[in-house]
Amino acid sequence: MPNPKRRHSKARRDRRRAHDALDTMSFSTCPNCGEPKMPHRVCPKCGHYRGKQAVRTAQAL
């Protein structure tokens, strides 16, 4: 198996890693309780999804 002839520079290494950073998570507000939640997910606070009660939570009881 071939081995590298010369080591890669720090600039080349950093250019390769330029796209490795994680994006910040996006949040939307729940129309039922107003808490922030991830889009297209059931609200963890009230258990509503698309205007309907999807999951029973301690707050909903």
| pLDDT at residue 18, rounded to an integer | 96
**Does residue 3 sit within a domain?**
no
**Does residue 29 sit within a domain?**
yes
As for how many domains the chain has, the answer is 1
Identify the CA nearest to 50 among candidates 25, 27, 24, 32.
Answer: 32
**Does residue 13 sit within a domain?**
no
| pLDDT at residue 27, rounded to an integer | 95
**Does residue 57 sit within a domain?**
yes
**Does residue 48 sit within a domain?**
yes
**Does residue 12 sit within a domain?**
no
Identify the CA nearest to 28 among candidates 50, 1, 59, 56.
Answer: 50
**Does residue 8 sit within a domain?**
no
| pLDDT at residue 59, rounded to an integer | 66
Domain that holds residue 55: 25-61
- Report the predicted TM-score, pTM, of the whole model to 2 decimal places: 0.58
**Does residue 44 sit within a domain?**
yes
pLDDT digits (tens, 9 = 90+) for 6-61: 999 999 999 999 999 999 999 999 999 999 999 999 999 999 999 889 888 886 55
